[in-house]
Amino acid sequence: MNSDVTPIDSASRCPLLLLIVSGVLWLLVSGVFSLIHFAQVLNPGIFADCPFLTFGHIATIAENTFIYGWLANAGLALALWILARLGGEPVRAQNWVLAGTAFWNFGVTLGVVGIAIGDGSGYPLLGFPGYVQPLLLASYCAIAVAGVVAWGGRVRPVTYASQWYAAAALFLFPWFFSIAQVMLFFAPVRGVLQAVVASWYGQALWSLWMAPLGLGVAYYVIPKITGRTLRSYEFAALGFWSLIFIGPWTGGRHLIAGPVPAWIPTIGIVCLALMLFHYAVIVLNLVDTSSTSGTAGKFIGFGLLAYVGGGLIDCITGFHGVAVVTEFTHVEEAIKQLAFYGAGSMLLLGGLYYAVPRIVGRPWAMGGLVGGHVGCAVAGTVVLVLSLGVAGLVQGGGLLSAQMPFEQISILTDPWLFAAAVGECILLLGNGFLAANLVATLACTPGAETAPVHAAASLEASAP
């Protein structure tokens, strides 16, 4: 294993670091809003006099900054980095990436302000107001140009699974994003069709963008840190295409028993079962992660566990007898957090812990914080998801009984939501460690560019 700092990394440093730093900042912002959200859940009257901090605003801001702030910035950075490395050339069109990143983050900021002043769209996972959407689309395309160029201009004609996932994520987002914008904001479809479009968009966002970004990282990093080729690699293409072709059809499950044609949730549930094939391929290819010990390996291992586990749980909630309890409860939020935080975010964090030392050209400045972050991220996610899940089951049981008033349900769920808030605190603490470490790593020893090439093990900060 000789994956040391390459000229490709140092030549691509500037745009990638801008994306990464922006992503980590949004991760902190999202964490703070999540905490405010839980404060409000436990004490509903706390911001009764503030029009900007209504319950709906805070929850939407926390979610959208997480997706469009953190996952997008970090995911794009890692996707570009993988495509550049495997393409054999430094990131090209860097000015496009820089400008795109600046405008993207400006757009996200504007979107947050828009939600706070009551202009939010109300669509799940697409909460920013209509007026920032075109800006986000244009700036995304500016960033993704570099990925398309790296894909098209690659030195080797043969491509790898990580490249497919990264290229697919970069390339597909503008398509479904623009379709959703037109059909929801600029020429809105009628009535419940808006909910259908929104559910399709939400699923495409996961299956065609977040999941591929995370899986691209996993496919790239795991063979590097294990030093072995992937098992049963010949199945990787099947796993890829099954996600890309079947995944977007599964969104309808959220509309079960709703005022939409029954075939939409039915197809969704059938496709959820078909997706088991995709998860089987992921396990088959990436099972070696379980034997790694480095920081990146731990994050990615946990991320893959959450990814596959979340997929199985999704399948189970498609059953009528389960959905009747879990629909409209905190269980759905728990599953979402398991996917977004447990899978998407963890895979990207693993990628960052592997990539940043190589991009910067020196190891993480504070090894202790790295270990702290691993512990906090794992513990926080587990506590958050489990407590939300239990709260949701309690809530679902209460909702089923027509005699149970809502005040009673909220008394029963409050202790569990408090536990979820603790999980959120732990996560924020861990992410604070990452931010501090990143600042320290970027700030220290400015002359390190010319430092000798580091051994892979120290770059990965796997020691603490």
Nearest approach, Cβ of residue 364 and another protein (Å): 34
- Write the single-letter amino acid at 336: K
Among 5, 8, 59, 426, binds another protein (CB under 8 A): 59
Per-residue binding letters, 202-241, with another protein (x by CB under 8 A): --x---x----------------------------x---x
Contact between residue 60 and residue 101 where contact means Cβ atoms under 8 Å apart: no
Report how far residue 314's alpha carbon sits from residue 258's, in angstroms, rounded to the nearest whole number. 18
- Of 16 and 125, nearer to another protein (C-beta) is 125
Q: Which of 342, 442, 456, 445 is nearest to 24 (CA)?
A: 442
Nearest approach, Cβ of residue 213 and another protein (Å): 14
Per DSSP, helices labelled H in 206-252 are 211-226, 236-246
- Of 159 and 458, nearer to another protein (C-beta) is 159
Nearest approach, Cβ of residue 250 and another protein (Å): 9
Residues 173-192 that bind another protein (CB under 8 A): 175-176, 179, 183, 188-192
Per DSSP, helices labelled H in 190-329 are 193-205, 211-226, 236-246, 263-286, 295-317, 320-326
Considering the rule CB under 8 A, would residue 325 count as an interface residue with another protein? yes
- Of 134 and 258, nearer to another protein (C-beta) is 258
Among 24, 29, 172, 313, binds another protein (CB under 8 A): 172
Residues 119-138 that bind another protein (CB under 8 A): 119-122, 124
- Of 68 and 364, nearer to another protein (C-beta) is 68
Residues 34-53 that bind another protein (CB under 8 A): 40-41, 44-51
Give every CB contact of residue 27 below 8 A, 6+ residues apart in sequence.
66, 69, 70, 74, 345, 431, 434, 435
Backbone angles phi, psi at 197, to 5 degrees: -60, -45
Among 2, 7, 155, 158, binds another protein (CB under 8 A): 158
Contact between residue 242 and residue 274 where contact means Cβ atoms under 8 Å apart: yes
Considering the rule CB under 8 A, would residue 301 count as an interface residue with another protein? no
Nearest approach, Cβ of residue 416 and another protein (Å): 13
Report helix, strand or coil for 106: helix
Backbone angles phi, psi at 11, to 5 degrees: -75, -20
Considering the rule CB under 8 A, would residue 333 count as an interface residue with another protein? yes
